[in-house]
């Protein structure tokens, strides 16, 4: 009897630990789960289908996580970048993506979309990879990975401008797209300069 009680206690503790760590490690998944339920309920009184509402929510969640990553990387650049132009670019990324995040949060609130409390696991992996770089090679690594990040984000935003249903989200994505393309061009220029530095 005692061994069964110990086993049940072990299972209960393991389950609680897994649930807590799972929620902590997957803020994007948690938000997506909430939004999936909300989309089903909202669709009953909305001109948009459950699938349209779900796409809007998934885009907002992705964009929010991406903004958090850009801000976190910008702060990292303030600490670790050697070149002044890379530090300045990191500062600009903080300002622009904090503003983007605020706007997105306001739109999501009005639309009943749950945004993640922290960046998603994939974005966290990008951050950790760049943070792991030694000071000497940070500038090059940061600019190269930021360029790849912008390419990925631009692709998602470009698709969203053809698929979003929510007018505010659509306006947001449409306005952000040329800014992201400008970011990508500047990042490529800074990466080239960092790559040429000895």
| CATH number reported for the structural domain that contains residue 55 in this entry | 1.20.1260.10
Q: Which two tokens stand for residue 184?
A: 């990508």
Specify the number of domains making up the chain.
1
| Residue 186, in any domain of the structure | yes
Q: Which residues contact 101 (CB under 8 A, 6 or more apart)?
A: 64, 67, 68, 71
Alpha helices in 26-83 (DSSP H): 27-42, 50-80
Mean pLDDT of the chain: 85
| Residue 14, in any domain of the structure | no
| Residue 16, in any domain of the structure | no
pLDDT in tens, 129-172: 899 865 558 899 999 999 999 999 999 999 999 999 999 999 99
| Residue 130, in any domain of the structure | yes
pLDDT in tens, 20-33: 334 445 888 888 88
| Residue 70, in any domain of the structure | yes
Contact criterion met (CB below 8 Å) for 191 and 147: yes
| Residue 188, in any domain of the structure | yes
Domain, as residue range, for 106: 28-196
| Residue 158, in any domain of the structure | yes
CA 131 remoteness from chain centre:
17
Contact criterion met (CB below 8 Å) for 141 and 121: no
pLDDT in tens, 72-94: 999 999 999 999 999 999 999 99
Q: Which residues contact 149 (CB under 8 A, 6 or more apart)?
A: 66, 69, 70, 126
| Residue 12, in any domain of the structure | no
């Amino acid at each position: 009897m005692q061994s069964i009680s110990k086993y049940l206690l072990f299972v209960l503790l393991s389950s609680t630990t897994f649930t807590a760590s799972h929620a902590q490690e997957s803020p994007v998944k948690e938000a997506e789960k909430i939004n999936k339920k909300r989309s089903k309920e909202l669709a009953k009184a909305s001109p948009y289908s459950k699938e349209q509402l779900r796409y809007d929510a998934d885009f907002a969640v992705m964009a929010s996580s991406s903004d958090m990553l850009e801000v976190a990387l910008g702060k990292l650049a303030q600490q670790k970048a050697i070149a002044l132009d890379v530090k300045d670019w990191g500062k600009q990324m903080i300002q622009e993506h904090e503003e983007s995040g605020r706007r997105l949060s306001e739109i999501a609130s009005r639309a009943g979309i749950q945004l993640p409390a922290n960046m998603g696991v994939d974005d966290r992996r990008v951050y950790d990879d760049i943070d792991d770089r030694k000071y000497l090679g940070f500038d090059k690594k940061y600019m190269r990975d930021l360029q790849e990040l912008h390419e990925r984000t631009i692709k998602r935003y470009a698709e969203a401008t053809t698929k979003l249903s929510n007018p505010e989200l659509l306006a947001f994505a449409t306005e952000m797209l040329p800014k992201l393309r400008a970011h990508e061009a500047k990042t490529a220029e800074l990466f080239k300069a960092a790559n040429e530095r000895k």
